[in-house]
């Protein structure tokens, strides 16, 4: 095991966490600070197929111990972990800020706390679960949840701590053991989670963390026949590869695959509130899967909306994620910044209008807040997920046309609607495609509600009992009434 390293005064391990111990690999990959790319944070253990097999073995061996506990017993572990997350909120926030570039204030005040809430809420949901009981055709019936087995959790580089806890919490609460594979561009807060798991006293092997490239260790994990559940958040292309492996082994698989969500604004809306929320889609430099990146505004309010939107967008400040005055920081990696700039350059070359921004500034990973007015709805910038600080702007003349534009991509993760009409909110909210549709608000989440996408935005649902059911084998037990005493 290599020595731990320090980030802003916080000790972090560069190694895997397997069977309750740190395990190193001879080869490594580096992680750097996105807003200060010259600052190499660490060399991280780069796992391979052997590492994956070691972690799955640990999870398989620990499964009977964890699965045979009652929900109430597992709840104690998960509550202890939640308490430890809250106690270490500052450390987790600064490490993720340096590793992923999400704003420190946002992490400290909101995002890390959500991670603690994830573990507490799922622990409570699982322990308070009531079996469905009914009579049918002379039999007494019950639906029983059984833990499924080792679960592989693969998380993306954006909001890595929150998304890791969101996906691992229901797996653990349901009685499964876990192998977490964080993204190689932002692995450090997951490593800290391993430390907290150890402090919470989890039995060895219940929770494991392996680091490395998806094509190497990730591929080995999803192809291991001992794995009984796979939960993935990331790209459509990677999901297709994982889906084939899951199908080969007949393993249930959920995938959340990003979006190209509409932000639909009607003339009867609070235009100022809608414009402010639209400019807020640049938060985290647009690296938010649910962001309303396609602004679609009724013709009659086009000019006043754009005036207000530009005023709010002008207020964004690019800079160091640790600085409280910064509202937009760097993109995660130069490779990703180049990808985003490719969309902008191709849009300009194809005749789309770059209404604002469109340039790299202040460093290799910084891109200005950019707004594109496409030449047509078929524009690449409209149809494909960019995952950067790039929005498109379109107009419509009536409700039917607005809904048609909103539903005109292959994605369907979420949607945002602004209207002052309760009837329209209900009517349009029902027909706009999206796993979650917000009206006159954005990113308000009830953790018991189903979450997931339609179309190429995903497969399956997370959240509340939906996630606990996914991580369980459901059994119907039927007993002939009056046949036993």
- Rounded to the nearest 10 degrees, how much is the dihedral formed by the CA atoms of 2, 13, 255, 380? -90
CB-CB contact of 119 with 25 (8 Å): no
Choice among 289, 298, 368, 385 that is catalytic: 289
Choice among 96, 256, 298, 368 that is catalytic: 256
If one counts every other C-beta atom within 10 angstroms of the C-beta of residue 57, the result is: 17
Q: List 135's β-bridge partners, or say none.
A: 140
Q: What is the DSSP letter of 217?
A: I
Estimate to the nearest angstrom the gap between the alpha carbon of 445 and the chain centroid.
Answer: 13
Burial of 364 (0-12, 13-18, 19+ CB in 10 A): middle
Instruction: Tell me which residue has tokens 């979650």.
Output: 436
Asked if 256 is an active-site residue, the reply is yes
Instruction: Name the residue among 1, 4, 46 with its Cα closest to residue 21.
Output: 1
- In angstroms, rounded to a whole number, what is the distance separating the alpha carbons of residues 401 and 397? 7
The DSSP line for 270-295 is: -HHHHHHHHHGGGGGGG--TT---EE
The DSSP line for 428-484 is: HHHHS--SEEEES--S---TTS-B--SGGGEES-BSHHHHHHHTEEEEEEEEETTS-
Asked if 289 is an active-site residue, the reply is yes
Q: Are strands 436-439 and 472-480 parallel, antiparallel or unpaired?
A: unpaired
Q: Please list the active-site residues.
A: 256, 289
């Amino acid at each position: 095991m290599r020595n731990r390293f320090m980030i802003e005064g916080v000790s972090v391990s560069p190694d895997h966490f397997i069977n309750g111990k740190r395990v190193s690999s001879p080869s490594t990959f580096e992680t750097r600070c996105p807003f200060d790319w010259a600052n190499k944070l660490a060399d991280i253990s780069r796992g391979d197929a052997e590492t994956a097999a070691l972690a799955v073995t640990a999870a398989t061996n620990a499964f009977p111990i964890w699965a045979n506990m009652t929900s109430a017993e597992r709840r104690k572990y998960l509550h202890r972990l939640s308490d430890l997350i809250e106690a270490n909120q500052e450390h987790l926030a600064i490490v993720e800020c340096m590793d992923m570039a999400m704003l420190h204030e946002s992490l400290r005040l909101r995002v890390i706390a959500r991670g603690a809430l994830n573990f507490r809420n799922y622990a409570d949901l699982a322990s308070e679960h009531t079996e469905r009981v009914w009579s049918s055709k002379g039999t007494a019936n019950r639906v029983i949840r059984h833990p499924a087995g080792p679960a592989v959790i693969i998380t993306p580089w954006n909001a890595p701590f929150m998304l890791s806890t969101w996906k691992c919490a229901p797996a653990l609460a349901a009685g499964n053991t876990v192998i977490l594979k964080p993204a190689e561009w932002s692995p450090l807060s997951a490593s800290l989670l391993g430390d907290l798991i150890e402090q919470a006293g989890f039995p060895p092997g219940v929770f494991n963390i392996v680091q490395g490239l998806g094509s190497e260790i990730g591929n080995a994990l999803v192809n291991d026949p001992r794995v009984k559940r796979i939960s993935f958040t990331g790209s459509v292309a990677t999901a297709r590869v994982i889906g084939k492996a899951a199908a080969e082994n007949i393993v249930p698989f959920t995938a959340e695959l990003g979006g190209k969500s509409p932000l639909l604004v009607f003339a009867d809306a609070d235009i100022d509130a809608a414009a402010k929320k639209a400019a807020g889609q640049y938060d985290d430099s647009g690296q938010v899967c649910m962001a309303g990146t396609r602004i679609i505004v009724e013709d009659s309010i086009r000019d006043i909306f754009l005036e207000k939107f530009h005023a709010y967008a002008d207020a964004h400040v690019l800079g160091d994620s640790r600085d409280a005055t910064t509202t937009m920081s760097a993109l995660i990696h130069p490779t990703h910044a180049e990808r985003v700039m490719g969309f902008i350059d191709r849009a300009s070359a194809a005749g789309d209008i770059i209404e604002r921004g469109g340039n790299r500034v202040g460093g290799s990973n910084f891109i200005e807040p950019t707004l594109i007015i496409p030449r047509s709805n078929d524009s690449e910038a409209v149809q494909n997920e960019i995952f950067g600080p790039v929005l498109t702007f379109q107009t419509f003349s009536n409700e039917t046309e607005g809904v048609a534009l909103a539903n005109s991509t292959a994605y369907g993760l979420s949607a945002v609607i602004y209207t002052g009409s309760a009837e329209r909110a209900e009517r349009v909210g029902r027909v706009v495609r999206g796993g979650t549709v917000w009206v006159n608000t954005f990113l308000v989440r009830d953790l018991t509600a189903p979450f997931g996408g339609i179309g190429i935005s995903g497969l399956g649902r997370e959240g509340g009992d939906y996630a606990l059911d996914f991580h369980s084998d459901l059994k119907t037990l039927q007993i002939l009434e009056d046949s036993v005493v």
